[in-house]
Structure 1
């Protein structure tokens, strides 16, 4: 029997009154209390130049090197899990991910909603977002539309990562770790100044694990992985007024993939993914992935007198991923569809290899100094070539697989200026124009037949206006209005009975934000409060209807509040916490029923539904302590994170209820040595991290024997380990 979530179209009027008065809004920062109490402010580059975080009229979360070590943040998943208002879905393999910010997520095979920037250049595709982070200097996570600075695909926000540059001091570090799941880690850095003008830095990271999730039918762990990474950076002082930075990086990863479980969660548990229904995977085919990437970047900065700096940065990315899985996630054979034994060996193997080449370049002119007028302007170009083959194996019934060859040329022109209208009042105006020319050819992999050729241009002016009032260095109140957009794209070619269209429209975002940030007790206490109202047009909702397709939702209405606090309590104790409430609901949305049964309507009303992968509440809190025991310096931290109900599809049936996880770490510094003991998800809480439901996917509704089924992936459970680092 079909089940539908209750309609919910209530809107809280109080928050709009609150926002309209401009009395709320803020920006959480998670920099630890020592920096908050230190002489130097937390410095960010969110607006294209270094400035104090407290002075920036944007919602921005900052992680420093000390934060990264104390919180044991080793992957982008860790950074996002620690950031209220941001949520990450890792689906089927490491390259397939969806990041949600304030209720809006990326889609799986098209433009992301997040600008992901590494060392000043935006990555071209979300497949690159989950490459391992290591030797990181700083991570900034910006929420809300950031199109005026970062361009298209920043409609939800931006992640800005800076890796450590070479310095003029020789030295480095070596680190070894081990943990459960027979997990081994090794990291190393060597900093080598060649001369007064040339410095080099080599960093590497290695991870190997047997995994944590056991397939009950194959009787072995199926989420093991190996990750190998290297990065060489060079800093060259080409003259007294110019610098050249070079970066060459490489990654090689392989391991288990699509370790997906199968159960009739809709029928047996009303779509609730919790308790005994969270079974281990039991398929008879072990999914695998393997991916390789290498990239190069050059950045040249030239001072033009004392007032201007000209910067050029260019990069190249080359990426290949192999991925294979089954689609029935069962070991029963033959597998039936609507009672017919169509698949004697199951629905396997399914293969989706991806190849990416990207060229990125940006030229920027920036004013220097701290005068009343501060500005920058520039031009951006990115060329993306992306090939994805959808080899659906037995589901093709003898037809040849098809390859989608997508080409994108993006040009952006941007400028931003901040002016001190009064000594205490700053006005900032940013404006960017992006033009994205996209085309896609659908090619048969065996015959080279061209099944379709599509092309479309997406362009948009993206303004941003901020007013910031700073009566003192310890307080900022601001109001920001911004516009962002995400390019449209191309779905897999629809058949005569399919409900999706061949092309889908660009997504447009309009947001209003107002906020306060403050610090007390000489910086030992930091507080912020944030609120926002955001309207989305043509929200690109990704669904899985035999393949990943985008169904545009005409309107999505979002509003919410965010708050954070950090305090140095004295005696070595530090306290921090953050909370985000995000109310993200569809507007009027009547859409074709993807799985109509006899007697049911061909259209379904999904008005007022939660948007997928967008929990209403995300909370984080932690307490840390630093002290000494004889010659040893101790650093301990205990933290908790809570995520409320997550709906995986727009019908709000398949969902995981709210869950909390506790992390802990104890570090010991003995001279040049650092030792640590750590644990993540200390109490071994289990939840689902992604799911596809029978009410959205006809294949699962008709699958048998003993169907129908839903498919879902469980989290890895508790992880713990020890590590040792030596600095030289």
Structure 2
């Protein structure tokens, strides 16, 4: 009886599959996307890795403008805003971003790897393609790719003049304008692209004490590219980008200490700090890339320079409460961070291929210098509106107050102490990879890279006592075995290693100065398929990652310094599934599911938390789901109507090592609808339709549980002109 009850649905599915297959044989509905995540051009379905990619059309239709937008549409990838809006916390496959240290990904734009997390969370425009490669990718991308890699390719100029201008107006006092134009200076010889972006936002979340919005933002970006064909065999690209921004920062809301649900009443509690947090940041990126084609293969040489300067100032305890100078039970304060990064990068690659073998060898070097200064001020009144101009740093006190422990209350001024660090990194690597086709069905790929990173850190005021140096190195292999069962079905098995360099905690005589490198080892089994004659692609993977010394940062309340604690051993295992279905022209479904069980297996760094074996690694969503549908149809000979709906569900997570403060499951809905012509687009959009309110960061503060609230419902209109 049970078999009979299934017969009709099975017959229906078979007929539908045959009908769709017959319709699609005449035309391939899902366009094949060419990616370069393995540093060579190949179609997305050919890559034996768990990879999510967005082409130009999908970037436009989904309204992707930044990291968080494409993270929402990628299995096991997430981004949460924290204290500094330009420095988000990224999680991929259960591997996290410490506040001290590097992100768990390599972030590459046009062949240049971002030297630090400060260059990642920027506004995106004039983007051709975004590729998210999950799983340790150290063999291909080097140190930092402990959890994966993100490859972003900007739009390339051609011999025809083309460009785009896009304007947006939304609630929260939001306006933005961006655009680019590209074309030839000398046809087939010298091509250009120039672009600019400006955005301004009053904000959404309130500070009820100051009667102002806390999440204001104003950002400007300028970028340019010059591509020169020196000869038939040599092409040289010059690229430059400058961005400046002013954003609200550190504007946490506070719940009582016994409130461990980070999301509870987050939309009913305003920020109440008496100091408005402000960050001012400038970013400069310059690079040159040369491609030389020879009879043996293609040689690529890349030089890059990156610089960021940031000044950030905010309330220290996030309230307007007064100091308790009688009982010494509460201290109101303000905090300032000065942060500079300078980085020089050089990379050489040589790629060749034959009928059965593709190979690449190369070398890499990077010099990076980070100067940081954190200063604390006592706000003795604590109840009056203050800004940076009302606090001073006497130079004689600056030279003496080198840590919280050395703060001398007899100074008689509000300045307390500064934590100063000059940190340098000199890293180099050599690498190679080869992909061998054993026969038409079976191929084997192997990559190997050796990275070495020499780091040094000191406080210039006490260089002898604070100086620390260490060299971190790792050999990172990757093996992939691919079997093509047919033109439409492929399976693969891969093993890879990733490496995140160690570093130094902020200096204090009582803390452990050096934190060790993080190493991940990944085993993955996956498949990729094309179904219904080309109307559907389905891919999936299961993975198991063993991680040594997962880097997690806490605030050490005895020294008031940021302290990176290594989780000796942790395990992340999970599954990823993705499907694209296009049953008819104009109708497209996108489905994605990621599950990551990231668990602490051993922790010996401190006894402060007790036995936390079996706890979840903080900051990791247990799962994420995205489901989208997009439909477009002609409404006249020259105009189409479009609607896109995305549902995003994020699983629960814990915020600290003790797993006490937690956030439950959250659900988001994004909607876009509009009209399109050959040159004009007008789109109405609503992000977070249901006005879901959650914390994007949570921790124990000095006056309660501090939570950073997400953006509420955001809606507006977007218009673009393409030429």
Residues 389 and 605 from structure 1, CA distance in 2 versus in 1: closer, same or farther, beyond 3 angstroms? same
Match in the other structure for 1:312: 301
Pairing 1:511–2:522 present: yes
Alignment partners' CA distance in 1, 2:553 and 2:268: 24
Residues 335 and 183 from structure 1, CA distance in 2 versus in 1: closer, same or farther, beyond 3 angstroms? farther
Superposed, 1:400-411 pairs within 5 Å as 400-411=417-428
Match in the other structure for 1:726: 721
Match in the other structure for 1:687: 694
Q: Deviations over 1:293-322 (max 9, x none)?
A: 1111100001112x4011101100111001
Deviation of 1:190 after TM superposition, in Å, equals: 1.2
1:335 touches 1:347 (CA, 8 Å); kept in 2? Answer: no
Match in the other structure for 2:469: 455
Residues 335 and 375 from structure 1, CA distance in 2 versus in 1: closer, same or farther, beyond 3 angstroms? farther
Deviation of 1:333 after TM superposition, in Å, equals: 1.1
TM (normalized to structure 2)?
0.89
Pairing 1:204–2:235 present: no
Superposed, 1:168-317 pairs within 5 Å as 168-196=159-187, 197-264=189-256, 266-267=257-258, 269-275=259-265, 279-305=269-295, 307-317=296-306
TM (normalized to structure 1)?
0.88
Superposed, 1:435-454 pairs within 5 Å as 435-444=452-461, 451-454=465-468
Runs of 4+ in structure 1 off by over 6 angstroms are none
Match in the other structure for 1:381: 365
Match in the other structure for 1:713: 708
Alignment partners' CA distance in 1, 2:494 and 2:587: 35
Residues 583 and 336 from structure 1, CA distance in 2 versus in 1: closer, same or farther, beyond 3 angstroms? farther
Superposed, 1:44-443 pairs within 5 Å as 44-196=35-187, 197-264=189-256, 266-267=257-258, 269-275=259-265, 279-305=269-295, 307-335=296-324, 339-340=327-328, 343=331, 346-348=332-334, 350-368=335-353, 371-394=355-378, 396=407, 400-443=417-460
Deviation of 1:558 after TM superposition, in Å, equals: 1.1
RMSD: 1.9
2:376 touches 2:417 (CA, 8 Å); kept in 1? Answer: no
Q: Deviations over 1:486-540 (max 9, x none)?
A: 11110012454xxx51111111111100111101122210111210000001111
Match in the other structure for 1:586: 600
The answer to which of 665-674 and 584-593 deviates more is 584-593
Match in the other structure for 1:43: 34
Q: Deviations over 1:265-324 (max 9, x none)?
A: x41x3444323686221111100000001111100001112x401110110011100111
Q: 1:604 aligns with which of 600, 606, 610?
A: 610
Q: Secondary structure at the match of 1:149?
A: helix
Residues 99 and 340 from structure 1, CA distance in 2 versus in 1: closer, same or farther, beyond 3 angstroms? same
Q: Deviations over 1:398-453 (max 9, x none)?
A: 55423211100110100000000121001000000000011011223xxx765411
Alignment partners' CA distance in 2, 1:162 and 1:194: 22
Deviation of 1:672 after TM superposition, in Å, equals: 1.7
Alignment partners' CA distance in 1, 2:261 and 2:667: 20
More RCO (CA 8 Å, sep 6+): 1
1:440 touches 1:453 (CA, 8 Å); kept in 2? Answer: yes
1:92 touches 1:258 (CA, 8 Å); kept in 2? Answer: yes
Q: Secondary structure at the match of 1:340?
A: coil
Q: Secondary structure at the match of 1:353?
A: strand
Deviation of 1:216 after TM superposition, in Å, equals: 1.3
1:443 touches 1:451 (CA, 8 Å); kept in 2? Answer: no
2:569 touches 2:601 (CA, 8 Å); kept in 1? Answer: yes
1:278 touches 1:687 (CA, 8 Å); kept in 2? Answer: no
Alignment partners' CA distance in 2, 1:39 and 1:274: 43
Deviation of 1:724 after TM superposition, in Å, equals: 1.1
Deviation of 1:39 after TM superposition, in Å, equals: 7.7
Residues 659 and 315 from structure 1, CA distance in 2 versus in 1: closer, same or farther, beyond 3 angstroms? same
Deviation of 1:171 after TM superposition, in Å, equals: 2.6
Residues 148 and 276 from structure 1, CA distance in 2 versus in 1: closer, same or farther, beyond 3 angstroms? closer
Match in the other structure for 1:674: 681
Deviation of 1:571 after TM superposition, in Å, equals: 5.6
Deviation of 1:134 after TM superposition, in Å, equals: 1.2
1:509 touches 1:537 (CA, 8 Å); kept in 2? Answer: yes
Unaligned runs of 5+ in 1: 1-32, 595-602, 695-699, 704-708
Match in the other structure for 1:598: none
1:376 touches 1:416 (CA, 8 Å); kept in 2? Answer: yes
Pairing 1:536–2:547 present: yes
Q: 1:618 aligns with which of 619, 624, 630?
A: 624
Alignment partners' CA distance in 2, 1:43 and 1:336: 65
Residues 692 and 302 from structure 1, CA distance in 2 versus in 1: closer, same or farther, beyond 3 angstroms? same
Q: Tell me how many residue pairs correspond in the alignment.
A: 661
Alignment partners' CA distance in 2, 1:351 and 1:473: 59
Q: Secondary structure at the match of 1:105?
A: coil
Deviation of 1:684 after TM superposition, in Å, equals: 0.5
Q: Deviations over 1:671-704 (max 9, x none)?
A: 421111111101111000001125xxxxx2xx5x
1:278 touches 1:714 (CA, 8 Å); kept in 2? Answer: no
Deviation of 1:475 after TM superposition, in Å, equals: 1.2
Pairing 1:657–2:668 present: no
Deviation of 1:207 after TM superposition, in Å, equals: 0.6
Match in the other structure for 1:475: 489
Q: Secondary structure at the match of 1:240?
A: coil
Alignment partners' CA distance in 2, 1:86 and 1:670: 34
Q: Secondary structure at the match of 2:708?
A: strand
The answer to which of 132-141 and 396-405 deviates more is 396-405
Alignment partners' CA distance in 2, 1:570 and 1:590: 57
Alignment partners' CA distance in 2, 1:154 and 1:37: 35
The answer to which of 680-689 and 190-199 deviates more is 190-199
Alignment partners' CA distance in 1, 2:678 and 2:580: 29
Pairing 1:635–2:642 present: yes
Alignment partners' CA distance in 1, 2:606 and 2:268: 30
Residues 73 and 533 from structure 1, CA distance in 2 versus in 1: closer, same or farther, beyond 3 angstroms? same
Alignment partners' CA distance in 1, 2:547 and 2:307: 33
Q: Secondary structure at the match of 1:352?
A: strand
Unaligned runs of 5+ in 2: 1-23, 379-403
2:429 touches 2:452 (CA, 8 Å); kept in 1? Answer: yes
Deviation of 1:334 after TM superposition, in Å, equals: 2.4
